[in-house]
Amino acid sequence: MKASAQTELYLIKQELGSIISELEGIENSIRNEFEGIGNDICANRLRAVLDDRLYKARKTLSNIDTSKVREGFGEVVC
Protein backbone atom coordinates (compact mmCIF):
# COMPACT_ATOMS: atom_id res chain seq x y z
CA MET A 1 0.00 0.00 0.00
CA LYS A 2 1.43 3.37 -1.01
CA ALA A 3 2.18 6.04 1.55
CA SER A 4 -0.60 8.24 0.13
CA ALA A 5 -3.15 5.47 0.67
CA GLN A 6 -1.85 4.86 4.20
CA THR A 7 -2.21 8.58 4.88
CA GLU A 8 -5.76 8.54 3.53
CA LEU A 9 -6.64 5.56 5.73
CA TYR A 10 -5.15 7.37 8.73
CA LEU A 11 -7.23 10.46 7.95
CA ILE A 12 -10.39 8.35 7.66
CA LYS A 13 -9.66 6.84 11.08
CA GLN A 14 -9.09 10.32 12.52
CA GLU A 15 -12.36 11.62 11.05
CA LEU A 16 -14.31 8.66 12.41
CA GLY A 17 -12.73 9.26 15.82
CA SER A 18 -13.81 12.91 15.66
CA ILE A 19 -17.36 11.92 14.71
CA ILE A 20 -17.52 9.45 17.59
CA SER A 21 -16.21 12.03 20.06
CA GLU A 22 -18.72 14.62 18.89
CA LEU A 23 -21.63 12.17 19.16
CA GLU A 24 -20.48 11.12 22.64
CA GLY A 25 -20.53 14.77 23.65
CA ILE A 26 -24.01 15.23 22.20
CA GLU A 27 -25.23 12.11 24.01
CA ASN A 28 -23.82 13.37 27.33
CA SER A 29 -25.37 16.81 26.82
CA ILE A 30 -28.77 15.33 26.01
CA ARG A 31 -28.58 13.07 29.05
CA ASN A 32 -27.38 15.75 31.50
CA GLU A 33 -28.74 19.10 30.28
CA PHE A 34 -32.27 18.24 29.20
CA GLU A 35 -34.92 16.88 31.51
CA GLY A 36 -38.49 15.77 31.10
CA ILE A 37 -38.51 15.71 27.31
CA GLY A 38 -37.57 12.10 26.72
CA ASN A 39 -33.89 12.86 27.09
CA ASP A 40 -33.07 9.37 28.38
CA ILE A 41 -34.76 7.72 25.42
CA CYS A 42 -32.95 9.99 22.98
CA ALA A 43 -29.58 9.60 24.71
CA ASN A 44 -30.01 5.82 24.94
CA ARG A 45 -30.76 5.60 21.22
CA LEU A 46 -27.70 7.64 20.37
CA ARG A 47 -25.62 5.43 22.68
CA ALA A 48 -26.98 2.34 20.89
CA VAL A 49 -25.87 3.73 17.53
CA LEU A 50 -22.43 4.47 18.94
CA ASP A 51 -22.12 0.99 20.44
CA ASP A 52 -23.62 -0.92 17.53
CA ARG A 53 -22.15 0.84 14.53
CA LEU A 54 -19.49 3.43 15.10
CA TYR A 55 -17.33 1.54 17.59
CA LYS A 56 -17.47 -1.51 15.31
CA ALA A 57 -16.48 0.65 12.33
CA ARG A 58 -13.53 2.06 14.27
CA LYS A 59 -12.45 -1.44 15.30
CA THR A 60 -12.72 -2.67 11.72
CA LEU A 61 -10.65 0.24 10.42
CA SER A 62 -8.04 -0.35 13.12
CA ASN A 63 -7.76 -4.01 12.19
CA ILE A 64 -7.14 -3.48 8.48
CA ASP A 65 -4.01 -5.31 7.39
CA THR A 66 -2.57 -2.73 5.03
CA SER A 67 -0.20 -5.31 3.55
CA LYS A 68 -3.26 -6.97 1.97
CA VAL A 69 -4.80 -3.83 0.49
CA ARG A 70 -4.08 -2.66 -3.06
CA GLU A 71 -4.45 0.81 -4.50
CA GLY A 72 -7.70 1.63 -6.25
CA PHE A 73 -10.92 0.52 -4.69
CA GLY A 74 -9.33 -1.06 -1.64
CA GLU A 75 -9.49 -4.58 -3.01
CA VAL A 76 -8.26 -7.20 -0.59
CA VAL A 77 -5.64 -9.58 -1.95
CA CYS A 78 -6.47 -13.13 -0.90
Domain range for 56 is: 3-62
Residue 73 inside a domain? The answer is: no
pLDDT tens digits for 19-38? 989 999 999 998 888 887 78
Number of domains in the chain: 1
Residue 77 inside a domain? The answer is: no
Residue 11 inside a domain? The answer is: yes
User: What whole-number distance in Å separates Cα of residue 77 and Cα of residue 61?
Assistant: 17
Query: 44-77 b/e with 16+ CB inside 10 Å = b?
Result: eebbeebeeebeeebeeeeeeeeeebeeeeeeee
| pLDDT above 60: residue 56 | yes
The overall average pLDDT reported for the chain is: 82
| pLDDT above 50: residue 78 | no
Q: Identify the pLDDT of residue 73.
A: 57
User: What whole-number distance in Å separates Cα of residue 67 and Cα of residue 60?
Assistant: 15
